[in-house]
Homo-oligomer: A and B are copies of this chain.
Amino acid sequence: MPNFKKIKVKNLEKFVTECFVKSGMSEEDAKITADVLISSDKRGIASHGVARLKRYTDGIKKGVMKPKANFEILKETNNTLLVSGNDGLGQPVTYKVMKLVIEKAKKNNVAFAAIRNSNHYGIAGYYSMMALRENLIGISMTNSFPLVVPTYGKNALLGTNPISVAAPSNKEIPFLLDMATSTVPRGKLEVYDRQGKKIPDFWATDTTGHPTDDPGLVLNNVKNKLGGGLLPLGGATEETGGHKGYGLAMIVEILTGILSGGAFGPFVYGKPNEPANVCHFLGAINIEAFIPLDEFKNALDSLISILHNSEKAEGQQKISIHGEKEFKRENEQKEFVEISDIVLANILEVGKSLGVNSKL
């Protein structure tokens, strides 16, 4: 198990921002990208935090991510946007387009954007939370590297394709769902593999297409495209509902890759030394177009409180609401964030190679 160090958030922000600036990004875009990564760490989602820094700076070095790409609005109406990220990093384009979506939703009740030619955008929930802070319902989804097998298929053809929806509450912690449409994301297999643990049989399949309990085998197979992969939410069969998770992954491919005119399914990261063409879909719904905001928030409070206070299953202590643990963790880590020594060594190495001056 790794040790964790408490790092001052302000220092980490400065350091990560400088890494991106030294990689060729503008100060503004570097700051946005740093904030998305560090927010993830603050919320306790280390897999999508600064641990990803090296993948991004490497992507820029290889030329598959463009540090100076300015996104382009290809088509615009009063409530829709079609955008090309022009192969830039996913965070700056998505952040800026979500701002426009929020503006449009405030003026015109609902708004959606489809973004193509982008890259990994961090946690889906970062962008739905931007709408949440403006008292809107926020929607964010993205396609991703094809790791997931369709029900009864052998090969990974769909991404883990997360869906995030956020909705504002009043006294209670707000609702924030941010879920991969696979039973688990790849990172979970990596954790089990490192700990030498077996995985349950709804998580992944081997090269025959049958469930396996060996996480290392799966990771190797998907890396080398040998067959098998992660299972959709619901597991390997229709009996356990696997076709539903597969259907949710399809919805994400349709709204992101297909609706944007970008890459979908196996075409995402389809060519080794070319840009990934990851695609996103963003939305915001103005609650006031339907009912008074306070009425909505109080009703959500009421549902949350009913769930919290209802009887637990035998042996259980708590019924959680989606996002609750992460909002609490974020609140604890406002000034200092825990980073594992492995990740810390990794990002210090990145900083050194880029000639970064700021200290952690």
Number of copies of this chain in the oligomer?
2
On whether the beta carbons of B261 and A316 are closer than 8 Å, the reply is no
In the bound complex, what is the Cα–Cα distance between A153 and B259 (angstroms)?
38
| Inter-chain contacts of A167 with B (CB < 8 A) | 254, 258
Decide yes or no whether A205 CB sits under 8 A from chain B.
Answer: yes
| Among candidates B177, B300, B319, residue contacting A258 with C-beta atoms closer than 8 Å | B300
Decide yes or no whether A306 CB sits under 8 A from chain B.
Answer: yes
Decide yes or no whether A358 CB sits under 8 A from chain B.
Answer: no
Stretch at the interface among A39-47, A49-57, A288-296: A288-296
Stretch at the interface among A10-18, A76-84, A335-343: A76-84
On whether the beta carbons of A179 and B289 are closer than 8 Å, the reply is no
| Inter-chain contacts of A110 with B (CB < 8 A) | 79-80, 110-112
Report, nearest first, the 5 A-B pairs whose CB atoms are least far apart. Answer: A209-B313, A152-B316, A177-B247, A154-B311, A208-B314
Given A80-B290, A177-B247, A258-B303: A153 touches B205 (CB 8 Å cut-off):
no
Decide yes or no whether A157 CB sits under 8 A from chain B.
Answer: yes
On whether the beta carbons of B154 and A258 are closer than 8 Å, the reply is no
On whether the beta carbons of B290 and A75 are closer than 8 Å, the reply is yes
Decide yes or no whether A63 CB sits under 8 A from chain B.
Answer: no
- Contact bitstring A297-335, B, C-beta under 8 A = 1, else 0: 001100100110011111010111110000000000000
| Inter-chain contacts of A320 with B (CB < 8 A) | 151-152, 243
In the bound complex, what is the Cα–Cα distance between A300 and B320 (angstroms)?
37
On whether the beta carbons of B313 and A77 are closer than 8 Å, the reply is no
| Inter-chain contacts of A307 with B (CB < 8 A) | 150, 153, 157, 265
From 237 to 291 in chain A, residues with beta carbon under 8 angstroms from any chain B beta carbon are 239-241, 243-248, 250-251, 253-255, 257-261, 264-266, 285, 287, 289-291
Give me the interface of A with B, judged by CB distance under 8 Å.
Answer: 75, 77-80, 82, 108-112, 114, 137, 149-155, 157, 165, 167, 175, 177, 179, 183-184, 200, 202, 205, 208-210, 227, 233-236, 239-241, 243-248, 250-251, 253-255, 257-261, 264-266, 285, 287, 289-291, 295-296, 299-300, 303, 306-307, 310-314, 316, 318-322
On whether the beta carbons of A319 and B251 are closer than 8 Å, the reply is no
On whether the beta carbons of A313 and B153 are closer than 8 Å, the reply is yes
Whole-angstrom distance between the Cβ of A45 and the nearest chain B Cβ:
15
On whether the beta carbons of A244 and B179 are closer than 8 Å, the reply is yes
| Among candidates B183, B295, B303, B313, residue contacting A152 with C-beta atoms closer than 8 Å | B313
| Inter-chain contacts of A254 with B (CB < 8 A) | 137, 165, 167, 175, 300
Q: Which residue of B lies closest to A237 (CB)?
A: B200
Given A175-B254, A179-B247: A154 touches B240 (CB 8 Å cut-off):
no
In the bound complex, what is the Cα–Cα distance between A306 and B253 (angstroms)?
13
| Inter-chain contacts of A300 with B (CB < 8 A) | 254, 258
Most buried by B among A77, A114, A239, A254: A254
Given A79-B108, A258-B299, A290-B75: A183 touches B241 (CB 8 Å cut-off):
yes
| Inter-chain contacts of A246 with B (CB < 8 A) | 322
On whether the beta carbons of B114 and A313 are closer than 8 Å, the reply is no
In the bound complex, what is the Cα–Cα distance between A157 and B311 (angstroms)?
11
On whether the beta carbons of B312 and A209 are closer than 8 Å, the reply is yes
| Inter-chain contacts of A77 with B (CB < 8 A) | 109, 289
Can you list 23 A-B contacts with CB-CB less than 8 angstroms, sorted by A residue number? A75-B290, A79-B110, A80-B290, A153-B307, A153-B311, A153-B313, A157-B306, A157-B310, A167-B258, A179-B244, A183-B241, A184-B241, A200-B239, A209-B316, A227-B311, A241-B245, A247-B322, A250-B321, A257-B299, A259-B285, A259-B296, A260-B291, A261-B296
